[in-house]
Amino acid sequence: MPQRLLLIVGLFWLGVLPAGCRLPGRGGPISPALAKCREYSQEGIIALEQRRWATAEKLLAKAVQSCPDDPEARRHYAEALWNRGRRDEAIDQLHKAVTLLPQDTALRVRMSQMRLDLGQIPQAQANVEAALDMEPTRGSAWAMRARVRHAAGDAAGALADYHRALGFAPDDRDLLLDTAELYRELNEPEKALPLLHRLADTYAPGEEPQKVIYLEGLAYAALGRCDEAAESYAAALARGPSTSELLYQLALVRSRAGHPCDALAAAEAAIRLQPDHHPARRLVEQLSARPPHNGPIRQ
C-alpha cells in the first residue's frame, strides 16, 4: 500500500472493526482492548507516515496484542515489519489479515507485491488471481498481475494487463512508466514514446523528472530522431545531476547527427565522471581518430 494512503486507511477502519474486540450494539461502548488497539494503531500509522519504522513496529505490535482479531492492525503491522527488513514475519501478519478479511482484494494485491519482491512468483500469481476473481474492476490488481507476468517472462500478457490497468487509471504515473519501459525492452520505441509524453504531461511544465526526460531521449534515439534525442538529453542534464551514462548517450546522438566536436566533449565529460566507462572511452578513441568532417560514427 502506498505510504500516503496509510493514514487515510487507518482512520477509516477505526469504525469498522470485527466484533471480537468491541461490545455488542451499534454505536455502543467499546471494550478496553479495542480502545487500546485504536490508540496504538493511530500512533503507529502516524509513525509509518513519518517513516519511523522501529517506532511503528513497536506501536503496531501492541495494537495487535490488544486486539488479535483486528485485520487492519495486522495490515499496518505487516508494513512496519516489511520496512524493518523482517519480510517473513510481515507476510505472516498479512496472511493472518487475509484470513480475517478474505474478501479484501487490496490485502491480496499487497500480498502479491510482497511475494513478488521476494521472487516468489507462483505465490504472487495466486494472490493476484484471487483478487481479480473477487474484484475484476480493481485496476491495481491488473497492474499487479502485469508486474507478475513481466517477472515470469510473459511480456505479451504483461502488456495486456498494463493496458487493462491504464483503462482504470489512465494518468497513473507508475503504470505509464512501467508500460513504456516494457515497450522499450521489447524494442518498440514508437509505442513507448507516446506513453512517455503522457507521463510527462502529468507534471507541471518544468517539473518533469529527469528520468522521464531521459527515457524520452532513449526513445527518440531508437527511432533515429537524433536531434530530438539530444534535446531531451540536454534537458535531462539541466534537470538533475549529470551521470556518465546520460552524457554518453548524448555523445552518441551528437555523433550520429554529424556533430563530432559536441560528441567528443560529451564523451570526455562522461569519462571525467566515470573513468572506467568503457563505451565512452571507445567513442572518444573513435572520434579522436577521425577527421572532424568524416560524418557520424555508427555504434
The model scores a pTM over 0.85:
no
Q: Please provide residue 213's backbone torsions phi and psi, each rounded to the nearest 5 degrees.
A: -65, -40
How many residues comprise the chain?
299
pLDDT category at 28 given cuts 50, 70, 90 is low
pLDDT category at 29 given cuts 50, 70, 90 is low
pLDDT category at 32 given cuts 50, 70, 90 is confident
Q: Please provide residue 237's backbone torsions phi and psi, each rounded to the nearest 5 degrees.
A: -65, -35
- Could you tell me if residue 202 is left (phi over 0), alpha (psi between -120 and 50 degrees) or otherwise beta? alpha
User: Which cell numbers in the block locate residue 292?
Assistant: 572532424
Please calculate the CA angle 199-200-206 and round it to the nearest 5 degrees. 155
Confidence check: pLDDT of 31 > 90: no
pLDDT category at 22 given cuts 50, 70, 90 is low
Average model confidence (pLDDT) across the chain: 89
pLDDT category at 23 given cuts 50, 70, 90 is very low
Q: How far apart are CA 123 and CA 280, in angstroms?
A: 43
How confident is the model over 48-68, as a mean pLDDT?
Answer: 95
* pLDDT, tens digit, 9 for 90 and up, residues 208-228: 999 999 999 999 999 999 999
Query: Is residue 66 exposed (0-12), middle (13-18) or buried (19+ Cβ within 10 Å)?
Result: buried
Q: How far apart are CA 128 and CA 172, in angstroms?
A: 19
Residue 30: beta bridge partners? 22
Please calculate the CA angle 173-175-181 and round it to the nearest 5 degrees. 100
pLDDT score, position 12: 43
What 132-138 contacts at long range (C-beta under 8 Å, 24+ apart), as own/partner pairs, is: 134/103, 134/105, 134/108, 135/105, 137/168, 138/105, 138/106, 138/109, 138/168
The set of residues, in sequence order, having a beta carbon less than 8 Å from that of 151 and lying 6+ positions away, is 116, 121, 124
* pLDDT, tens digit, 9 for 90 and up, residues 1-19: 444 444 444 444 444 444 4
